[in-house]
Amino acid sequence: MGLFSRKPKTPAQTVVIPSSTTASPTAPATTNDAREQRIFAIGSDFLARARGHKTSVLSAKFYSDALMEWSMKDPNFKVQMFRFVDAYPMLKTPDAIYDHLTDYLGQEGVTVPGVIATAIKTGAVAKSVATATISSQIKGMASKFIAGQDAASALPGLKQLWDDGIASSVDLLGETCVSDEEADSYAAKYLDLINNLPAAMAAWKSQPRLESDHLGAIPRCNVSVKISALSARTDPIDSEGAMRDLMRRLLPILEAARDKGVFVNFDMEHHALKDFTIELFQRCVTQVNFNAGLAMQAYLRSGVDDAKRMCEWAIRNKRKVSVRLVKGAYWDAETIKSELHGWPNPVWAQKWQTDRCFEQMTEVFLDACPRKQGDSGVCLALGSHNARSIAAALAGLEARGLPQSALELQMLHGMADQLKHAAAEMGLRMREYVPVGEMIPGMAYLVRRLLENTSNESWLKAGFMDNADVGALLRSPAPKSGSQPATDLLAINPERHNLSPAPKGVGNGRPFFTEAIRDFSEGAQREKFGQAIARATVPKVANERTPEQAREMVTRASKAFAAWRDTDAVTRANMLVKAAQIMREQRDGLSGVMIREAGKTWREADADVCEAIDFLEYYARCAVPLFQRQRLGKFVGELDEVVYQPRGVAVVISPWNFPLAICSGMTVAALVTGNTVIVKPAEQTPGIASIMCDILWQAGVPKDVLQFCPAPGETTGAALVRDPRVALVAFTGSRDVGLDILHAAAPASPFSSPDARTNVPTHIKKVIAELGGKNAMIIDTSADFDEAVIAVRQSAFGFQGQKCSACSRVIVVDEQGPQGPAMTMFSRRLTEAMKALTIGDPLHPGTDIAPVIDVEAANKIRGFIERAKAGGLKHVGLELPTSNPFVAANASRFVAPHVFLNVPEDHELAREEIFGPVLAVMHASSFEDALRIANTPTYKLTGGVYSRKPSHIEQAKREFCVGNLYINRGCTGALVARHPFGGFGMSGVGSKAGGADYLLQFVEPRAIAENTMRRGFAPEL
């Protein structure tokens, strides 16, 4: 690949670091501390050497690349260009490349550099030139960071590095793994690498500095692995199960490494995997005696504790392991994700804090460095391109009397070559991290490198592009003078997002913010949850209220109405806030009830409770302003006002699929707006509904204001919705029942029923009906398949597909037809990903697929599956694991997930709501065609689009006719206030649950105009 043509300027020599007495005269005057003086001396020498390497410096070339130069000048251009680079490997034709390029660069606010603009404007010839140029630039950029398509093609480069005095650690690119097939293939590549690389390296010349440390020989061959690529179940929620699956593939790799004398380093990925990776690493080291290393991250607030924990473990267990200390590559992703979830941010907010933590962790590791052969402890490798961070570690070595060989420096391929050569010159052991692989799996890695190198926080950019002053570059990590401490987003989330009003006296007086779901990557949260659900019991509730009893409830509710209507709105709102607090206190136990009663898996149950809490907190805040009279205009002499009044008795008929969240949402919306409520829960889940009522009563809602009516729908439910005294029915459920309620709720027509002329009802019932969906996700040609496959799987099979929002059709755009490459690849990855789902008992954290709600539902779903099979549709279905005792005992309620391929548009799988784990894959010849197919059903609930083409995203926003559209994410999981939920067409009537206007349906507006002028005089004039 011609990437390894660097030569150190001078031959490697041993320690050449100047003594502290020869510190540069430019040392900052304020630096009188001996340690700082020493760091400055080492660092400035290091920097001077590095800056002396003017030739063959890839990092400098990187910055001088036209694309990078433009990116750094214009942040808008950078965003669009990096997004284009990310999508690029999926674009198979010059037309597609040109189309996407112009689309990205045509986005608002992007200044297109002259050369590109001219190429874009000038016709067909320039078009092919433009695509060829951009393609070669992107490939060139990738080749700077990725050393070859495979280990064999990278080998000459690795040898050249070795000859130049730099060792390597080979990383096989590949991160998202969606199936066992992909995990097996990745593991096989590693085995192959470990079995073959040592032999290829054996012939290389001896390099004592690279092959030994202060304790003795170290392996020549060194590889790095990302554990998430080795299992489709790398999910800490089921840490034992995930660990078993990983060890199954890891142990043969590690045993081969032990036998061949290969060093294996575990990379560190997202924070969610941190504790899991550390635990896995420790177990592997205990089981296989291989040369072991683990990357640890200093951008984590837990960094120093993590370091201490690792050192204590090594010493306690008499092990010698290596740690590659890095700052961390996922800073943006961690920051974004934590805010989205309302979780504490695991990473430091400011760069200097990361740098300081890096130095503190360095000290912890150096303290634990083994002194002589046979000692246990941690050998330190420093993964940094920051001369200050490196100099601090070198000073730390000196201070402890440790030799230079006790520390290894590591840097990334394609970055900081000047520093690498300077380090080799100084006699330090330098290792380059060398990724190899194809562009598609390498894209996530490449984009991380692009972001890192163009970040204003990058030391490398400051040091080599901006040529910052030595004093500034080597300064001890500290806040910049005059800088403000970083804002803690968690603390200001409610005000920052301002999702609701914040009426005085309601709750904490702050706007609503979403309840944070459990972070199951945290052992403590997992354990607490597991214990609570183990203890949970479902209250025994018989669905035996009769129509007569229901009518009595309506009588009581009618009597209670006036007092409740006249209760102060703030008082009512605070009852909801109190109920939310009680739910919070019982949170995991409530999940346990739903897991047992409805077959929810851990995450689904937890999300259900959070949504219920959200409805309580949100509606409490939205209700109060409704009851304050609003003045319209400012006319003198006429006071115009609008005011809302409750409707009366409300009947809530709630479904079993969100048995707490939806039941709570409808109930409290009616209550907080001053209506009295009779709750008739689904017959399958009266237990959790009864707990909800208990909580609301406990929070102060009077017993006649809220009544609980567990009963059969056909008789008692039907009687309730027909009772003329009922003012409002809030229903969520199937289309057919919803339509029946709508008909039943309407008074008889005076044209068809003569009785209706004499027996006129007092009011017309309001019906709010949220019905079904036949939701589609579109997979465009530019889609990120790694993400799309996982999102479709989750949207289709989460809670066994029993959500009205579930994805039941996935429409793949493939211009080459139903057997084209996109259809084939997507279908293959999706069906393989489906095979990674675990079917079992929902009490177990590793279960993805639990039983469906009841035998009747199971039979109905099976009917769809059998008819589709009988019709000859190609399909992939899972087998039920009947060896699992829980599955065997509940076989009549289990339905294994099925994917049907190339489903025609007129097939019932493409039209009917199934409400089970059955997914139809459909073909579309273009994005327009996909939208047409998606819009065909009469249901208009949710929809999803995976696309990286800005104009297609825009088109979907305009033309995809659904109540809730999700772009580049799954189509389920709406959050209160953030994703107001509900559809139109046959998906229901009424405005969106969890939205600003939802409560308006529970009240009636009254307008009042008062003439305030008396004999020509009016106040306010």
Q: Where do contacts with ligand FAD occur on this chain (CB under 6 A)?
A: 267-268, 295, 297, 299, 324, 326-331, 347-351, 353-354, 383-386, 389, 410-412, 433, 452, 457-460
Residue number, 95 or 332, with CB nearest to ligand FAD: 332
Q: Is 53 helix (H, G, I), strand (E, B) or coil?
A: coil
Bridge partners of residue 876, in order along the sequence: 899
CA distance to 223, 261, 274, 326, per residue, from 291 (Å):
10, 7, 20, 19
Contact 186, 172 (CB under 8 A): yes
What tokens were used for 483? 């800088």
Q: Report the nearest approach of ligand FAD to the CB of residue 593 (Å).
A: 40
Least distance CB 1001 / ligand FAD (angstroms): 45
> Angle at Cα 849 formed by Cα 845 and Cα 855, nearest 5°?
125
Q: Exposure string (b/e) for 57-90, b if CB count within 10 Å is 16 or more?
A: bbbbebbeeebbebbbebeebbebbbbbbbbbbb
Is 663 one of the catalytic residues? no
What spatial distance separates the first Cα and last Cα of the chain, rounded to whole Å?
Answer: 85
259/332 with CB nearer ligand FAD: 332
The residues near 354 (Cβ < 8 Å, ≥ 6 apart) are 298, 299, 327, 328, 331, 347, 348
Catalytic residue selected from 36, 334, 432, 770: 770
Helix, strand and coil content of the chain, in percent to the nearest 5, comes to 50, 15, 35
Whose Cβ is closer to ligand FAD: residue 297's or residue 802's?
Answer: 297
d(CA 356, CA 298): 9
Q: Considering the complex, what minimum distance in angstroms separates the CB of residue 384 from ligand FAD?
A: 3
Q: What angle do CA 251, 184, 187 make, to 5 degrees?
A: 50
Taking a C-beta distance cutoff of 8 angstroms, is the pair 687, 539 a contact?
A: yes
Tell me the C-alpha distance between 298 and 364, whole Å.
12
Per-residue DSSP letter, 27: S
**DSSP letter for each residue of 299-316:** SBTTHHHHHHHHHHHHHH
* C-alpha–C-alpha distance, residues 942 and 971, integer Å: 6
Burial of 835 (0-12, 13-18, 19+ CB in 10 A): middle
Which residue, 354 or 972, is less far from ligand FAD as judged by CB?
354
d(CA 329, CA 384): 11
The answer to whether 656 touches 685, Cβ cutoff 8 Å, is yes
**Of all helices (H) and strands (E), which one includes residue 478?**
none
**Least CB distance to ligand FAD at residue 388 (A):** 8
Measure the CA–CA gap between 245 and 183, rounded to whole angstroms.
10
- Could you tell me the smallest distance in angstroms from the CB atom of residue 220 to ligand FAD? 17
d(CA 222, CA 262) in angstroms, rounded, equals 6
Element (DSSP H or E) covering residue 899: strand 898-900
Residues 811, 934 contacting (CB under 8 angstroms): yes
Least separation, in Å, of the C-beta of 935 and ligand FAD? 43
Our CB check for ligand FAD shows the closer of 141 and 623 to be: 141
Q: Give buried/exposed letters for 795-824 (b at 16+ CB in 10 A, else e).
A: bbbbbbbbbbbbbbbbbbbbbeebebebbe
Q: Output the smallest distance, CB 400 to ligand FAD, in A.
A: 22
Decide whether 330 or 900 has the Cβ nearer to ligand FAD.
Answer: 330
Nearer to ligand FAD, 408 or 814 (CB): 408
Least distance in angstroms from the C-beta of 945 to ligand FAD: 31
Is 971 known to be catalytic? Answer: no
CB of 299 to ligand FAD, least distance (A): 4
Give 101 or 379: the residue with its C-beta nearer to ligand FAD: 379
Find where tokens 């429409």 sit.
811
636-657: burial string, b at 16+ Cβ within 10 Å, e else: eeebeeeebebbbbbbbbbbbb
Rounded to a whole number of angstroms, the CA Rg of the chain reads: 33
Residue 302 or 884: which CB sits closer to ligand FAD? 302
Q: Give the integer Cα–Cα distance in Å for 393 and 381.
A: 10
Q: Which is nearer to ligand FAD, 231 or 389 (CB)?
A: 389
Task: State in angstroms the smallest separation of the CB of 271 from ligand FAD.
Answer: 10
Given 284, 357, 693, 804, the catalytic residue: 804
If the CB atoms of residues 386 and 591 are measured against ligand FAD, the closer one turns out to be 386
Instruction: Return d(Cα 983, Cα 992) in angstroms, integer.
Output: 8
Eight-state DSSP code of residue 998: G
Residue 620, burial from CB neighbour count under 10 angstroms (0-12, 13-18, 19+): buried
For the bound state, the minimum distance from the C-beta of residue 360 to ligand FAD, rounded and expressed in Å, comes to: 14
**Both tokens assigned to 611:** 């949504």
Q: How far is the CB of 71 from ligand FAD (least distance, A)?
A: 17
Q: Strands 216-217, 407-412: parallel, antiparallel or unpaired by DSSP? A: unpaired
CB of 496 to ligand FAD, least distance (A): 18
Tokens found for residue 582:
């009680």
Which one, 327 or 587, has the nearer CB to ligand FAD?
Answer: 327
| CB nearer to ligand FAD: pick between 68 and 776 | 68
CB 410 within 8 A of CB 381: yes
Positions annotated as catalytic residues are 770, 804
